[in-house]
Amino acid sequence: MKNAILLAALTAAAATPLAAQVAKGRPAPAAPTGITRQAAQAQITAAFRRADANGDGALTRAEADAAARRIGPGARDAGAMFDRADADGNGRATLAETMAGPMTLFDRADRNRDGRLEPAEQRAVMDAARKMRTGG
């Protein structure tokens, strides 16, 4: 679900695109061999572009909220996630800022450092994301 990816893109810590996909019961696009770093970046970029309603290269909180509303349930914390993504707190989350959190998670999850998250590594991301959501 592409919109689920957007939710992930808006958070600096809570989830990754592949985690969102696994949460929806869908395999990552690159399954069964895993999702590459490049593919993850491409998905986040695509979701970002869709959320950037006025196309100015940054997401405002309003744009993030609107995108989160399209996702529906599970997007309650969009505001908090946006604040986390907006690293310099200027009210605009650039693509680089939006990308930073998920890609940090990706790299952390890529235990064997081959630039690809295998299913087992994806499950580890899911667990970490779940803990972050429930633990605040």
Q: Does position 127 bind Ca ion by CB under 5 A?
A: no
By CB under 5 A, how many residues form the interface with Ca ion? Answer: 7
Choosing from 2, 70, 72, 114, the residue that interacts with Ca ion (CB under 5 A) is: 114
Q: Which one, of 95, 122, 102, 112, lies nearest residue 35 by Cα?
A: 122
Would you tell me how many other CB atoms lie within 10 Å of the CB of residue 100? 17
Least distance in angstroms from the C-beta of 131 to Ca ion: 20
Choosing from 110, 122, 126, 128, the residue that interacts with Ca ion (CB under 5 A) is: 110
Q: Does position 33 bind Ca ion by CB under 5 A?
A: no
Q: Strands of the chain (E only): list them.
A: 35-36, 58-60, 92-94, 116-117
Q: Tokens 């990816």 correspond to what residue? A: 5
Choosing from 14, 15, 47, 52, the residue that interacts with Ca ion (CB under 5 A) is: 52
Q: Does position 86 bind Ca ion by CB under 5 A?
A: no
Choosing from 1, 33, 56, 104, the residue that interacts with Ca ion (CB under 5 A) is: 56
Give how far Cα 61 sits from Cα of 10, 77, 83, 88, 128, Å: 10, 12, 8, 14, 25
Residues lying near Ca ion in the complex (CB under 5 A) are found at 52, 54, 56, 110, 112, 114, 116
